[in-house]
Chain A
């Protein structure tokens, strides 16, 4: 019986053949934790008698959710995490380096075939690198740190085939919102999603990271893309050359299969208050907005800033709109500066935050007012998500966000491209 990518990755990690449904303990290639989750990881670790770090080089700690610190309590957390990293010799990315799900791929920490956990649900992002990457809680992370192993149930898989050519003004975020609407927010629960189709080869790595980030919003355990030429070339650019791609067998078994032709896709918007509440732009445009947030692990990368800058360059945003920008990493921000994107965005009226999560989780750097509509390039729009239960969040691509900033209402970006 053929194996899926997930079955192959688990099989190779425990050196025997496994099938979906099997429950096992497996060693990990990488563990990631951040300032939102590590305090609880530390607490859980302290419950393990005589806790140690099995392999410090596999643990990466990142300060991203609450940076720069908005309170003395959070500053204390940051100090504790830095002390821990220093004491045990784990890799640390301190305040201002960027968001976890950008730094991990950016710095070359993941490669095809890896089994990766992060104490943050959007760890699924790294599946774009043909790895099995999944979010876990603090107790799981503590177990993994101490034992070097974690228990898993090998998931069933769903296949999503993406075919066709992305039309102008339509991006990976729109593809993501579209399939989330079809699969639904719980449709992929307990499943890994495998992507295939002729559209994939034409998607940049940044676009693939966006898609695998958004996969979490279907309830999936992981979202895995093939390690094709584009992926291998990207990894080579980071000095990663010993790559063993994992491909599914032709007779692998899937619970469900979806096929999407993206050639006729419109820009998409997730309307309040669920990520799968998706509508094409034609049904949503005209909705007044008062705030826009460009950034996050979903869409805070160079291409995202580029398209927003292209639309906003030489223009002023609508007087009724507050625009907050948070590049996904320091490197992204610096390169965006070099290319004039930051200049264009700030000159148009945007406010630049330090690289970090901030407004996405209502932590700092941009909390919406009562009764307003926010357009955001993030991945969640639940009530209260951005720190105000009386604000409503619309999720969209950076291009849709930029066009909407100009008009003060949700706008089709194709009118400006």
Chain B
């Protein structure tokens, strides 16, 4: 369970973590307090481990820099829920093992308490007593996320088996 922090559409990677911040350090734990600072000053300080980022369309658009999902992970965010994700943010998050959920986020308001049911593929909005279904990730991506990211996945037996004929 965690609190939903709601954002709009087209939240780009510069908003997630400002360019000027990543110039001098790329430590996600140090950068976590600057999460979304240019559009919501002080936001980083309000995030508790296990919380959710909830957004509209095209979350994570802009730069391919992996620091954006890394800072989201560094802040302790459990999963990002959005109507759609930008391509590079999506694959960077999968590679890092950050859980992304594509669902109808209209039914979530900032401050709602949420719980994720991965087996039933539902987001339970406990505050509003609403269940929001979501589509599963493609099989390979699901395995990567479950392994904790693509590096551990490719070092696993299954990952090694996938690569060996190539």
- Verify that A and B bind, or say they do not: yes
User: Chain A: residues with CB nearer than 8 A to chain B?
Assistant: 23, 25, 36-37, 39-40, 43-44, 47-49, 66, 70-71, 73-74, 119-121, 123, 135-140, 142-143, 147, 149, 151, 153, 185-186, 189-190, 219, 221, 274, 361-363, 380, 382-385, 387, 389
A384–B40 alpha-carbon span in the complex (Å): 12
Contact status of A40 and B61, CB under 8 A, knowing A136-B88, A149-B166, A383-B38: no
Contact status of A137 and B91, CB under 8 A, knowing A23-B140, A49-B155, A384-B14: yes
Select which of A70, A151, A189 is within 8 A of B58 by beta carbon: A189
A74–B19 alpha-carbon span in the complex (Å): 14
**Quick check: B62 and A137 within 8 Å, CB to CB?**
no
User: Chain B: residues with CB nearer than 8 A to chain A?
Assistant: 10, 12, 14-15, 18-20, 22-26, 38-39, 57-58, 61-67, 69-70, 84, 86-88, 91-92, 95-96, 138, 140-141, 149-151, 154-155, 162-163, 166
**Quick check: A120 and B64 within 8 Å, CB to CB?**
yes
Contact status of A47 and B38, CB under 8 A, knowing A137-B64, A361-B19: no
5 of the cross-chain contacts (CB-CB < 8 Å) are A40-B26, A44-B151, A119-B65, A121-B64, A137-B69
A119–B66 alpha-carbon span in the complex (Å): 9
A243–B61 alpha-carbon span in the complex (Å): 34
Chain A positions within 8 Å of B65 at CB level: 36-37, 40, 119-121, 137-138
Give the residue among A135, A137, A389 with the most B Cβ atoms within 10 A: A137
5 closest Cβ pairs, A-B complex: A137-B66, A135-B64, A137-B92, A186-B58, A121-B64
**Quick check: B151 and A383 within 8 Å, CB to CB?**
no
**Quick check: A139 and B92 within 8 Å, CB to CB?**
yes
A221–B87 alpha-carbon span in the complex (Å): 7
Interface secondary structure of B, over-half rule: helix
**Quick check: A382 and B84 within 8 Å, CB to CB?**
no
Chain B positions within 8 Å of A74 at CB level: 23-24
Select which of B26, B39, B58, B162 is within 8 A of A219 by beta carbon: B58
Cβ distance B166 to chain A, nearest Cβ, rounded Å: 6
**Quick check: A185 and B149 within 8 Å, CB to CB?**
no
Which residue in chain A gives the minimum CB-CB distance to B65? Answer: A37
Chain A positions within 8 Å of B23 at CB level: 66, 70-71, 73-74, 363
Which residue in chain A gives the minimum CB-CB distance to B41? Answer: A389
Which residue in chain B gives the minimum CB-CB distance to A186? Answer: B58
Which residue in chain A gives the minimum CB-CB distance to B39? Answer: A383
Chain A positions within 8 Å of B15 at CB level: 382-384
**Quick check: A362 and B20 within 8 Å, CB to CB?**
yes
A384–B84 alpha-carbon span in the complex (Å): 24
Select which of B67, B155, B163 is within 8 A of A149 by beta carbon: B163
Select which of A25, A136, A363 is within 8 A of B91 by beta carbon: A136
Using A137-B69, A383-B39 as known contacts, list a sample of 19 further A-B pairs with CB atoms less than 8 Å apart, ordered by residue number in A: A37-B64, A43-B26, A44-B151, A74-B24, A121-B64, A135-B64, A136-B88, A137-B88, A138-B65, A139-B66, A185-B58, A186-B57, A189-B84, A219-B86, A380-B62, A382-B12, A383-B14, A384-B20, A389-B38
